[in-house]
Structures are given as structure tokens and as C-alpha cells.
Amino acid sequence: MSVEIEISFVKSAKVSGGLAVALGAQGEPVSAAARTVDPAGVLDKAVTVTGFSGKAYTVADIVAPKDSPADRIGLVGTGETKSLSSHGWMRVGGKIFTLIRKADKVAILLGEGELPTAEQAADIALGLLMRSYEFDLYKTAKPDDEDNGGGNRKVKVTFVHPDAAGCKKAFADREAVAAGVTLARNLVNEPANVLGPLEFAARVKELEALGVEVEILTEKDMKKLKMEALLGVGLGSVRPPRLAIMQWKGGKPKDKPVAFVGKGVVFDTGGISIKPAANMEDMKGDMGGAAAVTGLMRVLAGRKAKVNAVGVIGLVENMPDGAAQRPGDIVRSMSGQTIEIINTDAEGRLVLADALWYTRERFAPVAMVNLATLTGAIMVALGHHHAGLFSNDDALADALLSAGVATEERLWRMPLGPDYDKIIDSKFADMKNSGGRMAGSITAAQFLKRFVKDTPWAHLDIAGTAMGSPSTDVNQSWGSGFGVRLLDRYVRDRFEA
């Protein structure tokens, strides 16, 4: 069951029981900090016996000798310490979490050396928090959970670092990041019977407590705006669609905002073009783009980011019904462009078409980035290790690629071009919503491009990374929260540097 981590930073502390954790570098597996809880000097023999050498991301769990002030001593390897990136320090934090599941209290002894710095110590704490996430809301607690070291419980983790004040200051922003990632993960992991468009919109409204301005457009509002593309997706569902608009005004009043737009299909059956039954349960995560945008806005508000940012998410459910739209139908988007529906399972781009146009027309943003679990084709191309990046602006694309490298939420730029664009021309309308199997992720991006005009724009296809992505040292959750840290880093580098 879940372990709730409570983190604090102090200059010095007297260890008394519990778990003491120290870092070990390559070639120096037993640090000076570790020796403070090893008065008898048994750790040197212990690391020899266990084979712990300080190699990056390795762990040794040692029962403390009787004269130690700790009950257990944990060692976590950092490898060649000076080569560790910010994400590398986060991975160290993730490894520390594997030691503390059964501990009641933990002291992380970071010593007096040059590394880790206060910033790096804060990265360790962030990694620990992110690794500790577990979605078990619907699991019934068993009587023996506590006996097995489980149960929903709190663990106090004290970081001992000579610059405790610097650590605390650096961690404040990272704590906001952790909160945003947790929000995004929770939204993706929730079952669709709990999280429909109305319930999602209600959770967005909760951001008002942090200073985010939130508007929720109803079905009636969207009809007035002539959002037939978005509304058409929800015709087969008894649950009405919503468009949620979030504004964070942390920059100068005269500055144009940067905009983030998310696909929020809370469940996708495929509609009349119904999906196969196998793995359809995963389609509760087809709102991963909207979850990431919501999580990002939570981060920006939580850390009081000095930027004007807009988040727009289209929330809808795609179901088969007598009222559902059909292949062959033609709808008119808010932009006035008409769309022939070839496949009702190519629905996310219809939601984004109206959301992108609305965002561009209302806010005239300096740049727009949309996120969507849009195509299975992107997983065929890139698997689960990169999200696809499509853009009409090289500077924007480069900034996002750099942010992806820094956060290890990695992107791979995919092509756009007139030859691909021709594939979605329609005989009966201005365009069709599917160009068929070949180049499926590219033609989907070409479709979106028709709704942004000359605004610098990027489309992130996160179908392979937002849900069901491989477990890592900082994420063990089915819903990963992919995109939150990436876009927060983009905002920092592009608008706050």
C-alpha cells in the first residue's frame, strides 16, 4: 500500500534508530557521512561482501552493527559523481525509496563534501517523491498489510546537508513539480466511470485555490462557438463535453501568453468505428494530454512561475450510440473548415482542431504546444521511449528537444510536408480526418497544422509515453505524467531564464 513521504532538511542531526542512508561514489563506496553511523568500521567489509562498489544506481542494505546509532544503513551508488545530471540525481532519489519502504524514519546523510550541492540534494528529494507514487485508491486494505511493512502510512525523511536552507529553497520548486506530476498521474490512472468530462472539469476548478483562473465552457457555449468538430465526438455519449480554460498570469501584463492544449478523451471506444476488445480498458488514459496540461498548470501556479500561460483542454467521451457520428459524415469546425469523417476512431484530432483554433483566436499566443495520445502509429515508430514531435517552427522544436534531453522526457522530431498534407484532402470536404494506415502519425499532425495558421506550434504525440510506459527509477506508475516536467523545463528555459 502507499507510503506518504514527509521531507525536511537540517544542517545536522543525531541519528537515533531507523534507517540511515549515505551515498557512495565509484571508488569510494563508503563515504565520510556513512562512517558517522559506523563507529566500529564494519562497512568496509560489508561492501566487499555485498559487492557494492558505488556504481551508479546500485544499492546496499546493511543491518547496522549493535554500536551504530542506526538500525539499518543503506548505501546508494552515484558512480562518477560529477557526471550526474539533474535527472541522474533524481534517479538516486528513486533508488533511496527502494530502501525506505519498511522504515519509520529515515536520515539521508549528505555530508560536507562538494557534492551533492543544495540543488542536487533537492533533485534527490524530487526523485524520491516521484518514485514513491502509487495509485491504490481502489484497493481494499488487508489486515496484515501493516505486518508486511505495507499500509497507508507516513515516513519522515530528513536530509542532513550543510546548506539546509539552500536545499529547502531549491526543493520548493521541485515540490511543486512533484505535485503537478502526481495530479497528472492521478487523472490518467482514474477509471472512466469515475472521471468523465464533468468530473475532470471539477478537478480543474480546484486549481483556482492556487491562483489559476479557470473557465468551463458547456455544450451550449461550444454550440454558440460552432465547435462542431469537438462536439461531434461526444454525440454518442450521455456525458456532455466540456472545454476547460486555465490561465496563469505570472508574467508582465503586456506579455503574450504561451499556450498548451490537451486532448481529453476520457474514454475512447472508437465510436462507430469501434476498437477491438483487447486492451480497450487502456483507453481510460486517452486523456493523457489533458492530464499533462492540467498538471503543468498546477506546477506553474505552485512555484509562482514568472510567465503568462494558458491551458486549454477539450473533455469528451467517444461512445457508439444511435446518436453517434458516422463514417461519411461531414462537420464544420470552428475555423469554418469542413471535415469528412472517415474513421470515428480518429477523434482526438477533431477535439484538438477546435481547441487549437479557439486558443489561437482568443489568446494570440506567442507559441502553442499541444499534447495528445493521438496515434498508435507513433508507438510503431518510436515505441515507449520517445514521444513524437511535429512542429512548424524550428526554434520551438529545438527548445522542446532540449527540454526533453534535460528531463529525460525525450522527444524525436518527425517530418511534415506538402506531400503528406495532400493525403488528407477529401473529395467531399476541405479535409478528411484520416489518411489511412501509412504515415498515420504524420497525417494526423498535418491535420492539426491546418488549425494553427502561422502561430509557432508543436504537436507532441504521447501515445507511447503517457500510459503503459516502462517502469523507471522515478516512475512505477501506469500513468506516467509524461510532459509535465518537460514543459515546465521548456517554460523555465524559454520564458524565465
If you write DSSP's letter for every residue of 419-435 in order, what string do you get? HHHHTT--SSSSEES--
The amino acid at residue 164 is A
Q: Is the pLDDT of residue 148 over 60?
A: no
Question: What's 277's DSSP letter?
Answer: S
Indicate if the pLDDT at residue 198 is higher than 50: yes
- pLDDT digit string (tens) for 375-426? 999 999 999 999 999 999 999 999 999 999 999 999 999 999 999 999 999 9
Q: How far is it, in rounded angstroms, from Cα 278 to Cα 493?
A: 42
| Angstrom distance (rounded) from CA 128 to CA 124 | 6
Beta bridge partners of 340: 330, 432
Q: Which residues contact 473 (CB under 8 A, 6 or more apart)?
A: 57, 90, 91, 94, 95, 127, 131
DSSP letter string over 285-352? GTTHHHHHHHHHHHHHHHTT-SSEEEEEEEEEEE---TTS--TT-EEE-TTS-EEE-S-TT--HHHHH
Separation of alpha carbons 44 and 29, rounded Å: 8
CA distance 104 to 86: 28
Q: What pLDDT, on the 0 to 100 scale, is given for residue 388?
A: 98
The residues assigned a catalytic role are 275, 349
Longest Cα–Cα distance in the chain: 83
State how far the Cα of 340 lies from the Cα of 434, in Å rounded to an integer. Answer: 9
pTM: 0.96
Phi, psi of 257 (to 5 degrees): -80, 160
**How much is the pLDDT for 82?**
83
Average pLDDT of the chain is 95
Distance CA 241, CA 383 (A): 31
Question: Are residues 392 and 421 in contact, defined by beta-carbon separation less than 8 angstroms?
Answer: no
Top-confidence range, 101-115, 121-135, 136-150: 121-135
Nearest to residue 270, comparing CAs of 298, 233, 303?
Answer: 233
Nearest to 173, CA basis, from 480, 494, 492: 492
- Reported as a pLDDT band with limits 50, 70 and 90, residue 151 is low
Cell numbers at residue 345, please? 476512431
- Residue positions counted in the chain: 497
The sign of the CA dihedral 328, 272, 199, 152 is negative
Contact criterion met (CB below 8 Å) for 416 and 443: no
Q: Please give the Cα distance from 281 to 283 (Å, whole number).
A: 5
* pLDDT confidence of residue 58: 97
Q: Give the whole-angstrom CA distance, residue 326 versus residue 316.
A: 17
Position 149 confidence tier, pLDDT thresholds 50, 70, 90: very low
